[in-house]
Amino acid sequence: MNGQMGSWHGQRGAPGSDQGQGQGFDGWVPDDVRGKLTRDAPLSRLVWFKSGGAADWLFEPADLDDLTGFLAQLDEGTPVMALGLGSNLIVRDGGVPGVVVRLGKPFATVEVRRDSVLECGGGASGILVSSTARDAGIAGLAFLRGIPGTVGGFVRMNGGAYDREVADVLVDCDVVLPGGELVTLPAADLGYSYRHSRLPEGAIVVAARFKGEPGDPAEIGAEMDRIAAAREESQPLRSKTGGSTFKNPPGDKAWRLVDAAGCRGLKVGGAQVSEKHANFLINTGDATSADIETLGEEVRRRVAESQGVTLEWEIQRVGRW
Enclosing H/E stretch for 237: none
pTM for the structure as a whole: 0.88
Q: Rounded CA gap, 74 and 300, in Å?
A: 38
What does the pLDDT average to over 154-178?
Answer: 95
User: Domain coordinates of the chain in residue numbers?
Assistant: 108-219, 236-318
Q: In whole numbers, what is the pLDDT of the chain averaged over residues?
A: 91
Is the domain 108-219 a CATH 3.30.465.10 member? yes
Identical fold, 108-219 and 236-318: no
| Alpha helices (H) along 112-182 | 126-135, 151-156
pLDDT tens-place string over residues 86-145? 999 999 999 999 999 999 999 999 999 999 999 999 999 999 999 999 999 999 999 999
Q: Which amino acid is at 139?
A: A
Among residues 201, 68, 210, 214, the alpha carbon closest in space to that of 137 is found at 214
- Above 50 in pLDDT, residue 62? yes
Please state which CATH number belongs to domain 236-318: 3.90.78.10
Supply the residues annotated as catalytic.
Answer: 195, 244, 314
Yes or no: say if 6 and 87 are a contact pair by the CB < 8 Å rule. Answer: no
Taking a C-beta distance cutoff of 8 angstroms, is the pair 71, 176 a contact? yes
